Chain A
Amino acid sequence: MHFVGFDNYASVLADSEFVGAWRNIALFILCSVSAELIIGFGVAYLMRNPFRARGLLRVVLLIPWLVSPIANGLMWHFLLDRNSGLLNFGLAALGLPIQPSPLSSSLALPVAMLTDIWRKWPLVSFLLLPGLISIPTVYWEQATLDGASIVSQIRHIALPRLRPLLLTIALLLVGDTFGTFDSILMLTGGGPGTATITPALYSYQKAFETHDWPLGVTSAWLVVLIVLIVGLCYVLLLRREVD
Chain B
Amino acid sequence: MRAGINAMHTAQRIPGHWRQQKQRRGWLRTFLLGIAFLICFLPLAWAILNSLGLRLEDTASPPTLTGALTLDNYGEVGIKEPSFWVEMVTSAAVALVTTFLTISIAFLAAYGLSRSRFRGRRLLVQGFLVLSSLPVMAYVIPLNDLMRRVRLYNTFGGLTLAETAIFVPLALYVVYGYLAGQSREMEEAARLDGATTVQVLWSVVLPTTAAALSATAIIIFVLSWNMYLVPLVITESRVRTLPVAIGDFLTYDRDMDWPTASAGMLTAVLPAIVMVVATHQRSERFSLAPAQENADNLSQS
Contact = CB atoms under 8 A, between A and B. Distances in A.
A182 B228 contact: yes
Interface in A128-143: 130-131, 133-138, 141
Contacts of B281: 55
A89 B50 CA distance: 13
Given A168-B288, A207-B141, A67 B44 contact: yes
A135 B296 contact: yes
A154 interface: no
A46 B25 CA distance: 10
A238 B296 CA distance: 18
Contact of B268 (A68, A169, A171): A68
Contacts of B139: 220, 224
Query: How big is chain B's contact interface, by range?
Result: 35 or more
A32 to B, nearest CB: 15
A18 to B, nearest CB: 14
Contacts, number: 230
A103 interface: no
A84 interface: yes
Contact of B42 (A43, A86, A92): A86
Nearest to A201: B137
A96 B122 CA distance: 57
A182 B243 CA distance: 9
Pick the most buried of B3, B43, B225, B233: most chain A CB atoms within 10 A of its CB. B43
B141 A61 contact: no
Contact of A78 (B127, B262, B290, B292): B262
B9 to A, nearest CB: 9
B72 interface: no
Interface stretch (B53-61, B82-90, B190-198, B200-208): B53-61
Nearest to B272: A66
A231 B265 contact: no
Contacts of B12: none
Interface stretch (B97-105, B109-117, B146-154, B246-254): B246-254
B33 A57 contact: yes
7 contacts: A59-B284, A85-B56, A164-B292, A176-B133, A182-B228, A200-B137, A228-B134
A204 interface: yes
Interface string A143-181: 000000000000000000000110011011011101101
Contact of B133 (A43, A79, A85, A171): A171
Given A70-B246, A78-B258, A216-B141, A227 B40 contact: no
Indicate the size class of the contact surface on chain A. Answer: 35 or more
A49 B29 CA distance: 10
Contacts of B288: 127, 130-131, 165, 168-169
A59 B280 contact: yes
A9 interface: no
Interface of B: 3, 6, 10, 29, 32-33, 36-37, 39-44, 46-47, 50, 55-56, 58, 61-63, 123, 126-127, 129-130, 132-142, 222, 225-226, 228-229, 233, 243, 246-247, 249-250, 258, 261-262, 265, 268-269, 272-273, 276-277, 280-281, 283-284, 286-290, 292-293, 296-297, 299-300
Given A75-B47, A182-B228, A223 B284 contact: no
Contacts of B141: 203, 207, 213, 216-217, 220
A63 interface: yes
A200 B135 contact: yes
A64 B26 CA distance: 25
A107 interface: no
A70 B262 contact: no
A62 B276 contact: yes
A66 B136 CA distance: 18
B126 A92 contact: no
Given A66-B269, A126-B286, A181-B137, 9 more contacts: A64-B44, A68-B268, A75-B44, A78-B261, A79-B46, A200-B137, A223-B137, A235-B126, A235-B127
A2 to B, nearest CB: 18
A176 B10 CA distance: 44
Contacts of B47: 75, 78-79
A77 B141 CA distance: 27
A134 B292 contact: yes
B251 to A, nearest CB: 8
A193 interface: no
B58 A68 contact: no
A179 B166 CA distance: 14
A227 B134 contact: yes
Contacts of B272: 66, 68
Interface in A191-243: 199-200, 203-204, 207-208, 213, 216-217, 220-221, 223-224, 227-228, 230-232, 234-235, 238
